[in-house]
């Protein structure tokens, strides 16, 4: 059985060019992409290029019309991996806080990832950071499938974006005010 990550499948079976051809609503967004540990490792099995400076996921982001922005510590852990979140929550949130500050300073409209655990860390982690450290980021977090769905013409509420912990009216306005 050939088990593949959804991003790996989309990249290998469709590729950025074919996805770009299917886009009906190009996205005018600055995206802070988070690769996540499990997407690039084990690297020899994935065969998707450099582990240190990958580009395959950036290419899929840009196929939607969005801009995948660079930011310091882009390849750093979100803070949830390796059991850190469950064993050392405060340290985990410090790691997330650091990464969120880099993403905010880079001017991102949203964070995109393809890992449910990273998604949890960035989405609910922002609420926890607000409560614990009195810091506000308010950066929407999307799974790549949601970003792709937007580019394919699906409304945000149909993709569950409005159900995230972090919702941001300015972000929905950037999507063309399509939130109902």
Spatial distance between the Cα atoms of 122 and 161, rounded to a whole number of angstroms: 14
Spatial distance between the Cα atoms of 148 and 59, rounded to a whole number of angstroms: 12
pLDDT at 49: 65
Residues 8-30: pLDDT tens digits?
Answer: 999 999 999 999 999 999 999 99
Structural domains in the chain, sorted by start:
6-174 (3.40.50.11810)
- Scan for tokens 């964070």, then name that residue: 111
Please list the pLDDT of the chain residue by residue as tens digits (180 residues). Answer: 887 889 999 999 999 999 999 999 999 999 999 999 878 766 666 566 666 789 999 999 999 999 999 999 999 999 998 788 889 999 999 999 999 999 999 999 999 999 999 999 999 999 999 999 999 999 999 999 999 999 999 999 899 999 999 988 899 888 886 444
Spatial distance between the Cα atoms of 161 and 147, rounded to a whole number of angstroms: 9
- Scan for tokens 């393809």, then name that residue: 114
């Amino acid at each position: 059985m050939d088990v593949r990550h959804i991003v790996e499948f989309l990249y290998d079976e469709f590729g950025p060019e074919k996805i770009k051809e299917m886009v009906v609503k190009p996205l005018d967004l600055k995206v802070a992409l988070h690769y996540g540990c499990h997407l690039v490792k084990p690297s020899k099995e994935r065969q998707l290029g450099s582990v240190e400076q990958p580009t395959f996921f950036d290419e899929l982001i840009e196929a939607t019309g969005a801009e995948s922005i660079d930011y310091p510590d882009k390849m750093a852990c979100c803070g949830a991996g390796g059991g850190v979140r469950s064993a050392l929550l405060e340290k985990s949130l410090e790691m997330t806080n650091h990464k969120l500050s880099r993403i905010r300073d880079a001017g991102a409209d949203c964070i995109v990832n393809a890992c449910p655990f990273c998604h949890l860390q960035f989405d609910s982690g922002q609420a926890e950071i607000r409560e614990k450290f009195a810091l506000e980021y308010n950066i929407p977090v999307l799974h790549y499938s949601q970003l792709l769905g937007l580019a394919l013409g699906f409304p945000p509420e149909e993709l569950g974006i409005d159900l995230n912990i972090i919702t941001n009216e300015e972000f929905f306005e950037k999507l063309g005010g399509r939130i109902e």
